Structure 1
Amino acid sequence: MSNRNEIGTFLLRVMLGLVFLANGVAKFQGGIENTAGWFDSIGIPGFMAYPVAIIELVGGIAIILGLGTRIVSLLFGLIMIGAIFTVKLPDGFLNGYVFDLVLLVLAVHMILNGSKLFSLGQLLFKGREA
């Protein structure tokens, strides 16, 4: 991958991480119990608020640092698919799921391509790649 592509992918990785980190923080700051109650009210088991918030928070930090980028992106993608189909779809494209779809596509890009530039994972595991 060319250096320009790597810079672009790095920027996408950091932005994806920041968005999910901010959403994870918001779930805890607003009271995770409130998020669990909201999940219940829309037909999602309330306990799911906890793993979703933790994945967003810890995954956001990890992906910004470049740790487990592909795995974290897969988890982010699953969260976005869930959000689109359980919450956002009825509101339509522009008023509903467009932002979630963009995040899903960013996550898929990270799953397919990874991101090595300024990646802690690349630094730590450089010699172990096949």
Structure 2
Amino acid sequence: MPTTSTMTASSRPAGQDVAALLLRLALGTMFIAHGLTKLLVWTLAGTGQFFESIGLPAWVAWPITGLELIGGVLLILGVRVRWVALILAAELAGASMPHLANGWMFTAPDGGWEYPVFLAVTALALSLLDGGRLTLSRLIQQR
């Protein structure tokens, strides 16, 4: 049996493609929900105020919200999954920083780091796995 590193996309077990699809759908949905929360619940102004409170410029709210919304859609569709997931993993790693001093559990006051770190690791795993065969990118390539 070939190792994972020597398998081509066409020789991978179908279970890996389903696993990649499930990860893409879950992470994509989560990123869209987070982006919409920043946009519709907290508003971009409120998100900017929070970013300022942790030492970032307020304008960062715009690209982060856009990254989460567009990145979530791209993951769900399966477009450039490896790169999108890697970029989103880095964003989540950065989002973990303000929570490090709050303890592990995200239910801690001001949120702990366990949730954003878990999501960062999950996005990194998806980046390493890639999107699988069940992606829009592969469908377009086949035509």
* TM-score, L = length of structure 2: 0.82
Q: Which amino acid aligns with 2:136?
A: L
Report the aligned-residue RMSD: 1.4
Moved more, 2-11 or 51-60: 2-11
* TM-score, L = length of structure 1: 0.90
Task: State how 1:35-54 maps to structure 2 within 5 Å.
Answer: 35-54=47-66
Alpha-carbon deviations, 1:18-37, whole Å to 9, x = none?
00010001111021111111
Question: 2:122 corresponds to which residue?
Answer: 106
Runs (4+) off by over 2 Å: none
> For the pair shown, which has the larger CA radius of gyration, 1 or 2?
2
Give 3-state SS (helix, strand or coil) of 1:94's partner: coil
Question: 2:26 corresponds to which residue?
Answer: 15
Counterpart Cα distance in 2 of 1:94 and 1:101: 11
Question: 2:35 corresponds to which residue?
Answer: 24
Q: Which runs of 5+ in 2 are unaligned?
A: 1-11, 107-111
Change in Cα spacing, 1:126 to 1:98, as seen in structure 2 (3 Å) is: farther
More helix by share: 1
User: How many correspondences in the alignment?
Assistant: 126
Question: 2:5 corresponds to which residue?
Answer: none
Q: Which runs of 5+ in 1 are unaligned?
A: none
1:84 matched to 2:96? The reply is yes
Q: CA deviation at 1:81?
A: 1.1
Fraction of identical pairs, as percent: 30
